Structure 1
């Protein structure tokens, strides 16, 4: 398939679900989903500079990241959905915009999670410029999600800091460019205790002409780890309800 994807086993009549990781994350985040989401074949996106691609150059901007993904990832022409959490939500959104601009087939649905609507100002924190230890401590304080075994190991801390620095550079140098709303239905997930407010999630509706729904789950920024079962059920329902204008069969 592609160095960009860690893909589950093919499933008959299954929707192709492409999962974009959070800042500092890897494709391993979605390994269980490949087993548990029975109606989808999960393709977890693996970014350069981490996991088995650790020694590859890391794109320095969202534009470079999107261009590389669109150029190197073979997407189907039918029955696929994008899911992205946190920075992955923004990445999935910009990939969808790039596909639309190129006149290529679009996902049946875009599911974004744990990220405010892209036209809203993002806090100018400068996290990607911090020293490693301060960067890790800041991310852990803002969002959590860093395992204790990573924080306890000097080698793992260095690797985690490098991945987070690369992703925060992409995020903190990103500037949304106005354009037409996507002709793709949007599903928006978020944690009830996350720092992102409900109205910041609801503002995603401005980025689609095909309708948007918002669903909040108990938990913080990584609510999808805290209680994965209801999130997976809601995602499966979103896949089952999708019937894109370009498709004869829903995912």
Structure 2
């Protein structure tokens, strides 16, 4: 059998010539770039939207899913490093931890124009280490995803699950078996905005969240919606992201705030 050629991880959606900030998005476990396909038309024209599509999903379905969080972050970081201009990371659930690890690798490599991590519907990494979701049998894993709202218990939902299960399981394994770096190596310089649905029944509303994972500012904000915010809650989520990006536009240091004449 011929080897499957690896496709690029970063999907870049068409951007306006006004775009001067990259919003790089990471989806929940097992998902790829599709949840973000319409975002470019719903965000301000100065935002260019990209999304990370990992092996084992969408057009990369035939590729073997990556086995660890560091592999995932390394693959994403290599391509994101080629982007010019300021970068904001957005991650949903599993994607928030993957986005965090990618951002930290880029910071350690000397990238300074990382404006912010927006972590949506996601516990901080130390809240997931040691979990056993990746060990659940197929039916119990599906039931968990349906309870979170990531999949619907319908024929279509089950068909999607049958395709995505290997990637979903691999993502949870990467999340739950990661070795957290020592405190001196784990802190982002970029600030963190933590978004949670006001009807979220999965996350602990009083937990410490992401405050211990950045030397920058940390803020927690609620938006209308359940745990899974990429469904019917997308409008509220995008409104919160837009407000935050607009603030970052005004707070960014002058060297990073200059109009880039269209980012590349």
**TM-score relative to the length of structure 1:** 0.88
Q: Does 1:164 align with 2:188?
A: no
Encode CA deviations 1:50-80: one digit per residue, 9 max, x unaligned: 1101111221010111122223444424222
TM-superposed CA distance for 1:169, in Å, is: 0.9
Match of 1:179 among 176, 181, 184: 184
The unaligned stretches of length 5 or more in structure 2 are 1-6, 260-264
Q: Does 1:61 align with 2:68?
A: yes
**Corresponding residue for residue 30 of structure 1:** 36
Q: Does 1:249 align with 2:250?
A: no
Question: Which stretch has the larger CA shift, 158-167 or 239-248?
Answer: 239-248
**Corresponding residue for residue 90 of structure 1:** 97
TM-superposed CA distance for 1:125, in Å, is: 4.2
Q: Distance in 2 between matches of 1:72 and 1:80?
A: 13
TM-superposed CA distance for 1:106, in Å, is: 4.0
TM-superposed CA distance for 1:245, in Å, is: 4.4
The unaligned stretches of length 5 or more in structure 1 are none
**Corresponding residue for residue 215 of structure 1:** 221
Question: Which stretch has the larger CA shift, 6-15 or 159-168?
Answer: 6-15
TM-superposed CA distance for 1:160, in Å, is: 2.3
TM-superposed CA distance for 1:152, in Å, is: 4.3
**Corresponding residue for residue 12 of structure 2:** 7
Structure 1 runs (4+) greater than 4 angstroms displaced? none
Question: Which stretch has the larger CA shift, 69-78 or 108-117?
Answer: 69-78
**Corresponding residue for residue 51 of structure 1:** 58
Q: Distance in 2 between matches of 1:183 and 1:55?
A: 36
Matched residue count: 245
Match of 2:149 among 144, 150, 153: 144
Q: How does 1:197-236 map to 2 (within 5 A)?
A: 197-200=204-207, 203-236=209-242
Q: Distance in 1 between matches of 2:129 and 2:216?
A: 29
Question: Which stretch has the larger CA shift, 186-195 or 71-80?
Answer: 71-80
Q: Distance in 2 between matches of 1:115 and 1:89?
A: 6
Summarize the Cα distance change of 1:248–1:74 in structure 2 as closer, same or farther, 3 Å threshold. Answer: closer
Q: Distance in 2 between matches of 1:246 and 1:132?
A: 51
TM-superposed CA distance for 1:137, in Å, is: 1.8
Match of 1:127 among 133, 138, 155: 133
